[in-house]
A and B are shown apart, each in its own frame.
Chain A
Amino acid sequence: MTWTGNSLNIMLAFIPTPAGFSLVIATFAAGAIGAVLTGANDRRANLWGNGCAIAGSLLGLVFSGTVLIMGITPSFGIPTSFPLLSLSIRVDPMSAFFMLLISLITLFCSIYALGYVSHFYQKYPLGALGFFYNTFTASMILVVTAHNALFFLIVWEIMSLTSYFLVIYERHEEINIKAGTLYFIMTHVGTAFILLAFLLFYQASGSFDFGAIREGIASAPLAMRNAIFIFALVGFGAKAGIIPFHIWLPAAHPAAPSHVSALMSGVMIKTGIYMLARICWDMLPGPPPLWWGLLILMIGSISSLLGVLYALSEHDLKKLLAYHSIENIGIIFLGLGSSLVFLSAGMRTFAMLGLIAALYHTMNHATFKALLFLGAGAVIAETRTRNIEEYGGLIRVMPQTAFFFLIGSLAISALPPFNGFFSEWMTFQALFQGVNTFDLATKMMFVAAVGALAFTGGLAAACFVKAFGATFLARPRSVAGEQAKESAVPLRIGMAALAFITLILGVISGRVANGFTDVAASLSAFRLMETLPVVSFDLMSVRTGFASISLPILFTGIAVMTAAITAVCVILTRKRTMRIGATWDCGADLTSRMEITATGFSRSIITVFRGVLKPTGQTDIEYHDAKLRYFPKTGIVTMAFQDVYAAYFYQPLQKITLGVAEQVKKIQIGNINVYILYILVTLTGLLLMLVV
């Protein structure tokens, strides 16, 4: 054996060890602490913090990639002096996949951040940013690898807190503080439910270790499993941003710096998906009740459809993207829900198809949403506003950013040959199988889900025509838009890499889907399964013969066809000349006020869905002749949307809570004798209980 071969073997043997994993975490820790230490110098803190994040995510990529390729499951633990708590880590293929995803997105966000955070110099402390950014990333990796419930809760809390501090990073703007507070409250409500789920696990199995829970829960009664499911759904659903627990998401994601928004939207909310999948497919063995899957399907349909409708009505670019996260979480839920329904019917092949579709969409959404947030960040850094109406014509000054954003827009609209199309295709196929298989009631739930997904796809395309068109096309509608420049090199590298991955994940999707089979097969729901739904590499085929697709051929076909036809046209008409003129507008002087705005663009769709969106429009017109009202001087249209969640869900909830608190207050009289009486009554009660 040569020396290089030998050292390679040693390296390969080193990677999937506790030391290899610790190295990943240690690199992020070094980034966090180093950033604080170098905080006095903005530039150095930036280089140190993001440099370490890049190194750490590269190491994370190598670690999780090795684990996935070698098909091993490294696990290790450090016992602590606290009973029940052990810092145990287990990286099975499922965890490795999520770790890979986190590392991948972090890598490009950190490269982007090298250039992006420079506009915080002298304004906000870079050391703090580096500290929270690195801690946040490391805690996400620990969340998806933790194998002990208490340890999980600790890193989950670290993840929530660090992301809270990242949300309020630009603290001079009051709106960010408000968004942060809302996020803080919602995320802890979620954590409370997660805690309840874990306590029930503990009661059933007597352990906080995930492995022991899996063994111990088998004998638990159905009611307890139902309760665990509901608590987990609310807790992790709140993190994932399902409707109606989504209200923090469109507030918090836009408030954070854009590369952090990309991470939060791209991967942090996916940790909720991860743990939900871990619980439902891995830790609660046996076929689940039918209603679990149907409930998730219903939530998925509602979240996807409403998410995209809210996005359409939004003209804050980052809020728009945040609402699309809700939509895509809904699509992921459609895959998960169909999988659970199949699981309860004992059809594990289809169940696997649904789960793979969900996991694939998780990955795809992470890549294109990160790309879109990075693109939005580049635009916002140049124009200093998040209002789409003030952009316009940026494709001329930022052609590369525009191109990357366009690729993200195509992918999120599920247009072929990009990755979003493929995962939606798989989700469709999983739902089709449901329509094909079940009795009428269940079938209609699947039909509704298909309908929701179909409309979601179309509305998402409409929304991104609006977002891309109003931002990058036509003429600038503000001075800031005219003065914008192409973004800095690190920003473009980050976006270019993600755009490339978005395309590649679409084109080689058959292979990637095959890889997901191994990931899904590691979960206990699919243990010892023989037939796998994915049969060949490049031709993706569902249930041999029902449906098949080949993205490489699709991509090559379109590319070759377009190139050939364009070439033929250009050659045949090479003698024709082209004159540059002004856009025709009935002879009027062309101004940027004649362009369609984002609000105008989505107005017709909002009118169609006014029953759901409840738009409130108010028109104020000032007239030259106030009495006759023939000649308007100025006109202002104010459009807003009623916050139905606050009005019908959170405010009643708040009212009930306050009402109960008011009642509880009555026993707090303030007289010490009464409190002694309480103690006496309690003691007597307890003693009686002991006797009886």
Chain B
Amino acid sequence: MTSTSLLPWVIQLVLIPALSPFFVGVTRKMKAELQNRQGASPFQPYLDLGKLFQKDEVMSRDASWVFRFTPYLVFSLTVFVGGCIPLISTALMNTYTGDFLVVIYLLALGTFFLALAGMDTGGAFGGFGSSREMMVAALTEGGLILSLLTLALVSHTTNLFAISNAVASLPFYDLPPVLLAFVGFFIALLAETGRYPFDNPSTHLELTMIHEAMILEYSGKRLAIIEWAAANKYLIFIALGANLFFPWGMADTLAAAPMIGSLALFIGKCLLFCAAIALIESTIAKFRIFRLPDLLFTSFIISIIAIGLIV
């Protein structure tokens, strides 16, 4: 691999972890604005991560290597997945690990270890967080896979980069299934990234938390890495939504100018997603946990209808 082709790959790999705290911060800021609060700067998450990295750790005496190793694995997986999805140029075609099932199952691997880490310390919170997380994750899978399958069927490939390319050049009348599948995907996005109405990312109340309950025992650098990984996952899903369902304007070369334009466009699209999520979080209440399956099955059914609409 020459250095000219290496640089875009480095950008691709670094982009997710570099930008993800910003988008978490932006979502919080937008939420604050919508709720007539002032809110912290969008760059606050970077400072939080920096602070946590400076701190010492408290480790539960019941924790095994699973608990200690999980943050590194989960973070690495999210960075790796960053290289498997289209971000700023579809010319970076990844035919080795760019399959959508690979992305879904890599993220599932992270969830699996997170849930184990939640159980590892033997507290009441961690275990219940894991149980709820696995319930939501298991039920999300159907809607997630079928909504992306809709895209795969209209673009005749399961490779995410090729899907981006194909959807961008779809004729207008082929779009309805794509848009319908997007509804299914968006519900899955909210579930997978722990947003309203599934989970409250800013709560530590035992009745409501899912993700936060699992990671309750983490502190110091491991907490920083876990939080960062969660931010990465958030951006990964937003990027999937932006670049698979609305891929217009993405660069299909490795030239500098289109890539910079594409990057700006990508950030713009992601900001729109954040605004939508902030709006949802400010206007609806969190659902009771046993109403979540209804929503997730809705996502599944919508995706099936989308597949049925493909001509």
Contacts and interface: CB of A to CB of B under 8 A. Distances in A.
A47 to B, nearest CB: 36
A580 B308 contact: no
Given A410-B109, A594-B123, A473 B64 contact: yes
Interface stretch (B52-60, B194-202, B234-242, B268-276): B52-60
Interface in A367-404: 392-393, 395-396
A447 interface: yes
B159 A548 contact: yes
A558 interface: yes
Given A451-B304, A474-B121, A596-B119, 5 more contacts: A465-B116, A469-B127, A561-B79, A561-B80, A584-B216
A546 B109 CA distance: 24
Interface in A594-609: 594-596, 600-605, 607-608
Interface of A: 392-393, 395-396, 406, 410, 413-416, 421, 425, 428-429, 432, 435-436, 440, 443-444, 447, 450-451, 454-455, 457-459, 461-462, 464-466, 468-470, 472-475, 539, 541, 545-550, 553-554, 557-558, 561-562, 564-566, 569, 572-573, 576-585, 590, 592, 594-596, 600-605, 607-608
A457 B141 contact: yes
A450 B97 contact: no
A545 B157 contact: yes
Contacts of A451: 142, 145-146, 300, 304
Given A561-B80, A576-B55, A473 B66 contact: yes
Contact of A465 (B96, B130, B156): B130
A436 B137 CA distance: 27
B286 interface: no
A109 B65 CA distance: 28
A58 B135 CA distance: 43
Contacts of B73: 562
Interface in B45-88: 53-62, 64-66, 69, 72-73, 75-77, 79-80, 83
Interface residues of B, number: 80
Interface string B81-111: 0010000000000011101011001101101
B interface SS class: helix
A546 B116 contact: no
B131 interface: yes
B120 interface: yes
B99 A548 contact: yes
Contact of B225 (A470, A569, A583): A569
A413 B112 contact: yes
B20 to A, nearest CB: 15
B297 to A, nearest CB: 9
A468 B121 CA distance: 14
A562 B72 contact: yes
Given A458-B139, A547-B158, A469 B120 contact: yes
A474 B153 contact: no
B170 to A, nearest CB: 16
B15 interface: no
- Report the 10 A-B pairs with minimum CB-CB distance, sorted nearest first: A596-B127, A474-B122, A458-B138, A469-B119, A458-B141, A462-B134, A550-B96, A562-B76, A547-B158, A566-B72
A549 B77 CA distance: 17
Contacts of A573: 53, 220-221
B97 A549 contact: yes
B119 A465 contact: yes
A448 B64 CA distance: 40
A455 B142 contact: yes
Contact of B124 (A447, A473, A566, A594): A594
B159 A547 contact: yes
A581 B124 contact: no
Given A416-B102, A562-B72, A569-B221, A583 B97 contact: no
B158 A465 contact: no
Contacts of B140: 458
Given A395-B66, A474-B120, A608 B139 contact: yes
B307 A435 contact: yes
A523 B24 CA distance: 56
A582 B221 contact: no
A3 B275 CA distance: 79
A474 B119 contact: yes
Contacts of B65: 395
A457 B134 CA distance: 11
B106 to A, nearest CB: 6
Contact of B105 (A415, A432, A435): A415
A554 B97 contact: yes
B127 A461 contact: no
B239 to A, nearest CB: 18
Contacts of A594: 122-124
Interface in B201-247: 216-217, 220-221, 225
